[in-house]
Amino acid sequence: MELIRGLLILVCFALALLLQCSSNVEGRYHHHKKQKDKSSPVSPSPVSHPAPAHEKPVPSSPSNPKDSIFDVRKFGAVGDGSADDTAAFRAAWKAACAVESGVVLAPSDYSFKITSTIFSGPCKPGLVFQLDGVLMPPDGPDTWPKADSHSQWLVFYRLDDMTFTGQGTIEGNGQKWWDLPCKPHRGPNGSTAKGSCDSPALIRFFMSSNLVVSGLKIQNSPQFHMKFDGCEGVLIEKISISSPKLSPNTDGIHLGNTKSVGIYNSMITNGDDCISIGPGCANVDIEGVTCGPSHGISIGSLGVHNSEACVSNITVRNAIIRESDNGLRIKTWQGGSGSVSGISFENIQMENVRNCINIDQYYCLSKECRNQTSAVYVTGVTYRNIKGTYDVRTTPIHFACSDTVACTDIVMADVELLPYEGQLLDDPFCWNAYGTQETLTIPPINCLHDGQPQKAVEASAYDCNS
């Protein structure tokens, strides 16, 4: 019996996945094409237009749309910036979740405060969380309820076909977390105090599919601003993320085990990676993103603790990276397995960036990592039309590939990087890196080997399809 039921569930799941996948791709192109004619001011009344930022179709006829709007104030939210509105948000969510195309509305001109909350599904399709006001967590660790998770604040879990949108702001109140003495160099005399230093990620999507996040302003996160784990079908559009340059660990958008993602037309300034792409991600399309100050766009780190990591088919186009510690980086630990393949960086403008182009297969936080024979295989990485200026403290091009597993099929075309100020001190660096230069780069790179390594990379250890 159990087995048959299990099989049935599996078949249903597979079918559902198939249907969702195709509709999601459609949805993405639809959004993408539409973006030009969306500069017109959106209707200020959420009642007549519940999801202005991304034009999600709202059912017009079957029932009065008003029936599907759940204003958190009707559930007791005060929105004065100090009252605890958690219960009201939970109740509004529960009500909206139960109807098709339900809308949780947090209206403008109010400032809502809620504690760490998991908004979970499954819900009826088409659910919209519309934030037009301000939404924030308690201010710092001292006011964080002891029993609450210290690693996450807003969590969206087990949802399908859900949108988080609005003209509002998510204010993370991160300052007191950044100042904890356990953060890097925040202890007495610039030391780093020992012990666990958990700080909440602001928004986390977990085990969900067909998500849209659009229009929102997200700022001052205690830790990562937005992260996706185990999701499939994600469209992020026209959001802005901002935190100070020196706020520790405040990655903008982090993806892990997440597939079919579009990130478009967004601005990110923060104190860590602008966008980071972890193990298990594939089919990620990034376009029209401006990063900086930040730590750039990063694939990795991958292969920590000898783990297998697979990342494939990642495209970054028409992006600007400015005032950043890194530009386009792939980082892996010694001793991993799996591969990074099919990566394309195209039309990227750099402004005063350190390590503009960087593959680092010796990534290590403690300086105590030993070299190992296995590695995450890096292959098929294209840098096309990468132009602008770099910070001369480091070479703008650095390929440090594994000793035993060479990087292969690196393509360089129209790479022209000039010093922002001063003179280049170190030449471009490569170690065990193979590929082609379609055009000569500036600065010239003489260390990239032509063709393939003599000892072919043994496919089996790096096969991500098994």
Quick check: 366 binds ligand NAG (CB under 6 A)?
no
Look at residues 443, 342, 453 and name the one whose alpha carbon lies nearest to residue 402: 453
Give the number of other Cβ atoms within 10 Å of residue 87's Cβ: 14
Catalytic residue among 31, 54, 254, 295: 295
Rounded Cα distance between 359 and 296, Å, is 13
Quick check: 285 binds ligand NAG (CB under 6 A)?
yes
Q: Where are the beta strands (DSSP E) in 51-197?
A: 69-71, 80-84, 103-106, 111-113, 117-120, 127-131, 134-136, 152-157, 160-165, 169-171
Measured from each CB, the residue nearest to ligand NAG is 285
| Amino acid at residue number 311 | V
Quick check: 283 binds ligand NAG (CB under 6 A)?
yes
- Burial group, residue 221, by CB count within 10 angstroms (0-12, 13-18, 19+): buried
**Number of shown-chain residues binding ligand NAG (CB under 6 A):** 10
- Burial group, residue 381, by CB count within 10 angstroms (0-12, 13-18, 19+): buried
Cβ of residue 432: shortest distance to ligand NAG, in angstroms? 8
Quick check: 188 binds ligand NAG (CB under 6 A)?
yes
Task: List all residues 6 or more positions away from 54 whose beta carbon is below 8 Å from its beta carbon.
Answer: 31, 163, 165, 212, 214, 215, 235, 237
Active site residue 295: yes
Strand partners, 212: 163, 235
Rounded Cα distance between 174 and 251, Å, is 13
Quick check: 373 binds ligand NAG (CB under 6 A)?
no
Give the number of other Cβ atoms within 10 Å of residue 460's Cβ: 8
DSSP state of 396: S
Q: Looking only at residues 154 through 173 of this chain, which bind ligand NAG when binding is defined by CB under 6 A?
A: none
Q: Looking only at residues 397 through 416 of this chain, which bind ligand NAG when binding is defined by CB under 6 A?
A: 403
Cβ-based nearer residue to ligand NAG, 63 or 306: 306
Q: Looking only at residues 17 through 56 of this chain, which bind ligand NAG when binding is defined by CB under 6 A?
A: none
Quick check: 347 binds ligand NAG (CB under 6 A)?
no
Cβ-based nearer residue to ligand NAG, 250 or 361: 361
Cβ of residue 344: shortest distance to ligand NAG, in angstroms? 10
Cβ-based nearer residue to ligand NAG, 420 or 429: 429
Quick check: 189 binds ligand NAG (CB under 6 A)?
yes
Cβ of residue 313: shortest distance to ligand NAG, in angstroms? 4
323 within 8 A of 351, measured Cβ to Cβ: yes
Quick check: 237 binds ligand NAG (CB under 6 A)?
no
Look at residues 172, 197, 168 and name the one whose alpha carbon lies nearest to residue 182: 197
Active site residue 49: no
Quick check: 149 binds ligand NAG (CB under 6 A)?
no
Cβ of residue 371: shortest distance to ligand NAG, in angstroms? 4
Q: Looking only at residues 413 through 432 of this chain, which bind ligand NAG when binding is defined by CB under 6 A?
A: 431
Cβ of residue 209: shortest distance to ligand NAG, in angstroms? 15
Cβ of residue 285: shortest distance to ligand NAG, in angstroms? 3
Quick check: 371 binds ligand NAG (CB under 6 A)?
yes
Q: What are the residues binding ligand NAG (CB under 6 A)?
A: 188-189, 283, 285, 313, 315, 370-371, 403, 431
Catalytic residue numbers read 272, 295
